[in-house]
Chain A
Amino acid sequence: MAQFFAYITYKDGVADDAALELVSAAKKLSADSVIAIVTGSGSKLDTVCNNMTASYKEVWKIDNAALAYPNAEAVRKALVNVLPAGSIVLIPHETFGIDLGPGLSIKMDSAYVSDAVDFEGMAGTTIKIIRQEFGGQVSTHVTCDTSKGAVITVRPGVFQPDESKSAGGKVVDKSGSAGDLSVSRKYLELVAAQVGDVDITKSDVLVSIGRGIEDVENIEIANQLAKAMGADVSCSRPIVDAKWLEKSRQVGTSGQTVKPKVYMAMGISGSFQHVGGIKGNPFIVAVNKNPKAPIFQVADIGIVANILEFMPVLTEKITGA
């Protein structure tokens, strides 16, 4: 059986939640053992490696100054040199995994499946995987021939983290095999997110608007509802792409992570990137004219309606009450 690896992403010496989710993901494929692989440089790398030995029997460490910042090109080169041919590599599907995974699969000459949301098992060398298409509106089963290995990115948050921490593993230093890590894309700096006029991460109640708002002029309808409710207005990605609201108002993995008590999803379909930005288990009310919108699967209360008709009525009932 092919050897499974889990690529561990981390920030400031603390592994991302996905690190323990990948343990569960690999178990679902009845992987006999999955090896954690961690790249970086110095003491923070060591901290992560040592912590991972609680959850992985073996933790491969690649320490190199060129890996101090997770540059996908450098990481790819290191992995290609260190991983055995035919490996099956699991990587969290976020902005780093998207940068790393496709090219890694080409250089490993293996198959690539992105954004797996579940595994249905492995028969011989074929893995059956569940994915989503059209922003989560439909799901698909796909088969992946892993006879020459595979790179699979796994959506964060879909597998339960394995908290057993009973692996009692060891760190194996593979730094000597990393090879030449020179890159043609050089990391310069991080530009921090802009701070807006309202800090939606501090709001208790959010009226959040999506494509259903249809026109920039209709945002005033949401503003009035928010005013009546004592709420702030946030939004999904298309509203920021259209430059109708500031980036600081965007909820989602590429925007702000919010933790309100009540979240009003108005005309938001509910892509996983958007829902990924809503934490703290708020009371979610979804209003959408598409009864099949994925947002209804995560909402507590659903209403099938056109928000442009529904919001004014709600505002009126609140202010008149």
Chain B
Amino acid sequence: MEILVCIKRVPDTAENEITVNKTGSDIERDDLVYSVNEWDNYAVEEAIQIIDKAGGNVTVVTVGEDDSEEVLRREMAMGANNGLLLKDDAFKGSDGKGVAAILTAAVKKGKYDLIFTGAQADAGGAEVGGMLAAMLDVPYASLVNKIEILNDKTLKVGREIEGGNQEMSEISMPCVLSIQTGINEPRYVGIRGIRKVASVEIPVMSASDLGVAAGAVGDAGAKVKRVDYFVPALGEGAEMLEGSTEEIAIKLIELLKAKGGLK
């Protein structure tokens, strides 16, 4: 089984408070801690668990800059066999479709039975996997929270749908699955694991290596463009309680009594 997992380096929202810079052109990036997109980490873990049983290789790929190497290495420390960085100035400013087009070209350079993405990343688009599948003309399932291998051509997959229900389907390979958090428990990666892969060479492919026309991706090819970031004018919002912790607790208890929150 050859599995490709598409990953992304993102600001870690568990470690950072995301704010908008002065001009609204970007988020404030000074002192941001970056990590691998949370959903992608579950996707890589799932891929590793599959090849542990079925044999094969896991390749992690990302569209990014040199600094994206660190997340490729992190996932290789988890157990991915290969890394691949897709990097070109022409890729900058790509919309979801642009990223999917770049990944499509990379998929066609290899031979994969399964392709995973995280269900979503920092921009909340939840779109690249579905686009990639449509471009490759292979089946797709989003929000996958269970994978069972039925035979060498077919999987049984569960999708997480509304209300905690799970939609089970049979899907033929090759296919693209977008992986939901909670599907597994991603393994811990220690310093030693990272050191082991620190000097492994990670191949880089450019637009010309991939045969991607520069005008079809990046800012030039994007139909969807982010104009600015902003913080919306707040509505009424919450009444904020202030004071010492004890004072706040006493005020809150009165409010809770009035609202039936204390029995």
- Report A's interface with B, CB cutoff 8 A: 71-73, 94-96, 98-99, 101-107, 111-115, 128, 130-135, 137-145, 148, 183-194, 204-205, 211, 229-231, 237-238, 240-243, 247-248, 250, 253-257, 261-262, 264, 283-286, 290, 292, 296-305, 309-310, 313-314, 317-318, 321
Contacts and interface: CB of A to CB of B under 8 A. Distances in A.
Contacts of A301: 238-241, 252, 255
A95 B238 contact: no
Interface stretch (B60-68, B74-82, B168-176): B168-176
A296 B238 contact: yes
A37 B143 CA distance: 24
A262 B256 CA distance: 8
B224 A185 contact: no
Interface in B1-53: 11, 13-14, 17-20, 27
Nearest to B163: A193
Interface stretch (B107-115, B125-133, B195-203, B206-214): B125-133
Given A102-B131, A250-B164, A138 B262 contact: no
A211 B233 CA distance: 26
A135 B168 contact: no
5 contacts: A73-B139, A145-B223, A229-B262, A261-B261, A301-B252
B103 interface: no
B122 A134 contact: yes
Interface in B88-143: 96-97, 100, 119, 122-131, 133-135, 138-143
Given A248-B164, A299-B238, A95 B159 contact: yes
Contacts of B140: 72-73, 99, 103, 185
A103 B133 contact: yes
B176 to A, nearest CB: 9
Contacts of B226: 140-142
Contacts of A304: 240
B165 A115 contact: no
B169 A305 contact: no
Contacts, number: 264
A102 B237 contact: no
A138 B18 CA distance: 7
Contacts of B234: 297
B162 A102 contact: no
Interface residues on B, range: 35 or more
A283 B261 contact: yes
Interface in B206-256: 223-232, 234-235, 237-241, 245-246, 248-250, 252-253, 255-256
Given A205-B261, A262-B260, A139 B231 contact: yes
A300 B223 CA distance: 40
Nearest to B125: A114
Contacts of B263: 205, 229-230
Given A187-B167, A241-B182, 15 more contacts: A98-B126, A98-B142, A99-B142, A99-B159, A102-B96, A102-B134, A114-B125, A114-B126, A131-B124, A185-B141, A237-B181, A285-B261, A297-B238, A303-B241, A314-B252
Nearest 7 pairs between A and B by C-beta?
A102-B130, A302-B238, A230-B263, A193-B164, A262-B261, A106-B134, A103-B134
Contacts of A211: 14
A188 B169 contact: yes
Nearest to B141: A185
A229 B256 contact: yes
A185 B230 contact: no
Contact of A185 (B127, B169, B252): B169
A270 B112 CA distance: 38
A141 B252 contact: no
Nearest to A96: B161
B238 A138 contact: no
A192 B158 CA distance: 12
Q: Which of A103, A192, A231, A300 has the most CB of B within 10 A?
A: A103
B156 interface: yes
